[in-house]
């Protein structure tokens, strides 16, 4: 079932992007997820963002763990590199791949069970090390693949389909990402593509540890009254803190962020995030403001979405480790074996 082939025929008039690809070139196999699953909307947003950013599909590596969410890389970017790893182990596999070849764009796709249960430690270390990646958690509050048990992100008091009450406190991945040092932290909703696509584009160009928690309702096991991850509940309680537009390689502009008005935020790579503040109290360049907004709004039963925090001067793992530029498999003998004189100098320095 997972391997339904798509017709390869493309209509000749389809619009091509700057690198010569149509939107269809960014698609994958036909999804076998339940009709209406939020995860499919996230795949569509990834396809849209990659096409609009003129990313060459073969320059992307997509990695995932285990779950319905972790199956989704099969449904987009079929010409990219991919690894469907072990449950919760996507971050360490991705870290290794990134260290070996820093020239690819790394996309980590995971679920709330995959990242907040078995993979919580892995998630934490990828964030604190600044692994340059787009880390997307498709958050439905349940283990969808194994038929709807509460996941650690389920809210206390949330009800299961069969009426059981969740008694445990939730793991809030955006708060954790902020506390651990992620340099781009956002929350989106699979049902709001206008908000989600720019959030993904900004993350793809960020160059550091970019984390997006996407609330993605599971229509089979967590879309009923009493659930806090249903489409209805999320639509009612979604508080967008801001709206971003992503502007590729534009000259830097700065302006004072005024509530309700747009202002531009230059990123280290020359791209620009245009932020429209919707919430008076929120400054997306302040980690503390992000933490406060999340705690305050979530305490009131609301779900803050948008770009919660960005560090425009973010540094990543490769910069911290002073890695050589380029992929390691292209280092030649002179780089790998610097010679006896260098070795002598090194030995002297250690005496
Ligand atoms: C080591 C290991 N433990 C447990 C499982 C069983 N298992 C498969 S998917 C899953 C949870 C998936 O939940 P989530 O990551 O939220 O993805 P969703 O299906 O909700 O998208 C579990 C516990 C497994 N495959 N491997
Ligand atoms: S079980 Fe839930 S998460 Fe899995 S495909 Fe169906 S709706 Fe999506
Ligand atoms: Mg889940």
Q: Which residue has the higher pLDDT, 150 or 266?
A: 150
pLDDT digits (tens, 9 = 90+) for 1-15: 456 677 777 788 899
pLDDT digits (tens, 9 = 90+) for 220-242: 999 999 999 999 999 999 999 88
**Does the structure show a pLDDT above 80 at 279?**
no
- Domains of the chain are 23-329 (3.40.50.970)
pLDDT class of 252 with cuts at 50, 70, 90: very low
The pLDDT, as a whole number, for residue 255 is 44
Range among 64-73, 242-251, 337-346 with highest mean pLDDT value: 64-73
Strands 262-266 and 184-189: unpaired
Both tokens of 274, joined, read 């245009």
pLDDT digits (tens, 9 = 90+) for 179-210: 999 999 999 999 999 999 999 999 999 999 99
The pLDDT, as a whole number, for residue 1 is 45
Task: Report the percentage of the chain scoring pLDDT > 90.
Answer: 77
Is the distance from the beta carbon of residue 153 to the nearest atom of ligand 1 less than 6 Å? Answer: no
Q: Which residue has the higher pLDDT, 44 or 245?
A: 44
The pLDDT, as a whole number, for residue 270 is 73
Radius of gyration of the chain (CA): 21
Is the distance from the beta carbon of residue 42 to the nearest atom of ligand 2 less than 6 Å? Answer: no
Low-confidence winner among 10-24, 121-135, 173-187 (lowest mean pLDDT): 10-24
Place of tokens 């791949």: 97
Residue 5 Cα to ligand 2 middle (Å): 21
- CB-CB neighbours of 148 under 10 Å: 18
Q: Which residue has the higher pLDDT, 41 or 293?
A: 41
The pLDDT, as a whole number, for residue 310 is 95
Residue 202 Cα to ligand 1 middle (Å): 29
Q: Which of 40, 87, 110 to mutate to test the pocket of ligand 1 (most atoms within 8 A of CB)?
A: 87
The pLDDT, as a whole number, for residue 197 is 96
**Does the structure show a pLDDT above 70 at 260?**
no
Following DSSP, what letter does each residue of 137-189 receive, concatenated?
A: EEE-SEETTTT-EEPTTSPTTPBPTTSPBP-SPPP-HHHHHHHHT-SEEEEEE
DSSP category for residue 22? B
Helix or strand run (H / E) with residue 92: helix 90-100
pLDDT class of 291 with cuts at 50, 70, 90: very high
DSSP category for residue 328? G
- Among 16, 1, 89, 20, smallest CA distance to 58 is for 20
The pLDDT, as a whole number, for residue 2 is 53
Is the distance from the beta carbon of residue 151 to the nearest atom of ligand 1 less than 6 Å? Answer: yes
C-alpha neighbours within 13 Å on the C-beta side of residue 229 = 37
The pLDDT, as a whole number, for residue 307 is 93
Which residue's alpha carbon is at the smallest distance from atom 3 of ligand 1?
87
Mean pLDDT score, 213-221: 97
Is the distance from the beta carbon of residue 34 to the nearest atom of ligand 2 less than 6 Å? Answer: yes
Q: Work out the mean pLDDT of the chain and round it to a whole number.
A: 91
Q: Which residue has the higher pLDDT, 175 or 10?
A: 175
Which residue's alpha carbon is at the smallest distance from atom 6 of ligand 2?
34
**Does the structure show a pLDDT above 50 at 257?**
no
Q: Which residues, 6+ apart, have CB-to-CB distance to 292 below 8 Å?
A: 281
């Amino acid at each position: 079932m997972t391997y339904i082939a798509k017709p390869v025929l493309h209509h000749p008039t389809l619009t091509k992007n700057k690198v010569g690809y149509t939107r269809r070139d960014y698609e994958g196999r036909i999804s076998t997820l339940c009709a209406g699953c939020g995860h499919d909307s996230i795949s569509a947003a990834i396809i849209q963002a990659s096409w609009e950013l003129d990313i060459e599909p073969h320059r992307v590596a997509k990695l995932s763990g285990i779950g319905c969410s972790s199956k989704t890389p099969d449904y987009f970017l079929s010409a990219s590199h991919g690894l469907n790893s072990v449950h919760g182990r996507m971050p360490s596999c991705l870290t290794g791949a990134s260290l070996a070849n820093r020239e690819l764009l790394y996309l980590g796709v995971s679920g709330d069970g995959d990242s907040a249960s078995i993979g919580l430690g892995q998630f934490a270390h990828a964030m604190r090390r600044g692994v340059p990646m787009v880390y997307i958690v498709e958050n439905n509050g349940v283990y969808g693949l194994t038929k709807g048990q509460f996941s650690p992100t389920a809210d206390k008091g949330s009800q299961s389909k069969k009426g059981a009450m969740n008694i445990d406190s939730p793991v809030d991945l955006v708060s954790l990402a902020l506390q651990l040092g992620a340099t781009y932290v956002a929350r989106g909703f699979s049902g709001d593509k206008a908000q989600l696509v720019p959030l993904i584009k900004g993350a793809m160009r960020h160059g550091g540890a970019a984390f997006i928690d996407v609330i993605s309702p599971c229509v089979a096991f967590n879309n009923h009254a009493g659930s806090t991850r249903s489409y209805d509940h999320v639509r009612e309680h979604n508080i967008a803190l801001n709206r971003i537009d992503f502007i590729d390689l534009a000259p830097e502009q700065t302006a004072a962020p005024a509530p309700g008005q747009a202002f531009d935020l230059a990123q280290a790579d020359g791209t620009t995030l245009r932020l429209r503040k919707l919430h008076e109290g929120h400054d997306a360049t302040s980690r503390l403001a992000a933490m406060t907004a999340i705690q305050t709004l979530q305490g009131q039963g609301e779900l803050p979405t948008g770009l919660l925090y960005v560090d425009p001067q973010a540094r990543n793992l490769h910069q911290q480790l002073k890695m050589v530029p380029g992929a390691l498999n292209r280092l030649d003998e002179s780089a790998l074996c610097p010679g006896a004189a260098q070795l002598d100098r090194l030995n002297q320095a250690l005496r």
